[in-house]
Structure 1
Amino acid sequence: MRRHLPWTLATLTALLLATTRTLDPTHALLLPLTALTATHLWRHLDDGDQATWPAPPDETRHGARHDLSDLGWAAFTRDGRVSARVTRRVHAIATHRLAHHGIDLDDPTHHPRAARLLGPDVLAGLTSRRPPTPRTLHHWLDALDDLTPHTPDPTPGRPRR
């Protein structure tokens, strides 16, 4: 019964269009037959082979262009502040740079010495959870760049070069 349903609907549609004189009998018959043929072809034609893109190479190297691009896109939040990811990275750099001076940034007892080297505003920003503005981040990076690596003098009486 279901197989004959489309043909029955096409015949009824042709009769309706012809008897109401919406279309002449020839076109009233051709319109439903064309729709029926198009539906039949649509359902039974093969889609063919689907082209697929090759998988991108999964080659991630430390410090590669991917990391730089990833950090660049993730640097700022929607409100224009520096993202937490970048802030954590700058905090790690500060921890590493201050460790050369014997200062632990996570230890509050070392904060006065860190404030003398970096400045109290930079230290307050690095130890807070509030996201900085791009200008503040630039100031922090300048302060970290100004830190000279602390290398102890091998001979105390002799001046360093």
Structure 2
Amino acid sequence: MGVITYDMELASPIPPAKLFKAFVLDADTLIPKIMPQAIKSVEILEGDGGPGTIKLTTFGEGSQFKSVKQRIDGIDKENFTYNYSIIEGDALQDAIESISYEVQILPGADGGSICKNSSKYTTKGDTQITEEQIKAGKEKASAMFKAIESYLLANPDA
């Protein structure tokens, strides 16, 4: 078993509180609305939306995967941090035990935000994750972030 970590940072003109609300708090309904090809639905299986909550994410027609279960590990609405783990599903591909994410949205320049995301892949056995796989994951996360940002810019009252 090994752990592979990568970090990603994205700047946005959206203020931190608004970005956190859309990207974290409202994501389960917002992302299927604006990116149905990526995520078809998100439903809570257990819990109240706080730490320990288990969610089932069903991917859209454009995805190579069917679904994953994720667990909320922590959420801090005042400091705009969110931690969650992918604990089950075909996206783990029998090679990954789990994937943990730490998201933090910080104040950026001119009233905007900096979104920092740290991902930790815990692999099974001697499994290796390639640079191409990491790059593909970063591109998907970046596309989802940019879609939310575009939605907020086009809908300032959202």
Query: Shorter-chain TM-score: what band?
Result: under 0.3
Which has a greater percent of strand?
Answer: 2
TM-score w.r.t. length of structure 1: 0.26
Which has a greater percent of helix?
Answer: 1
Higher relative contact order structure (alpha carbons within 8 Å, sequence separation ≥ 6): 2
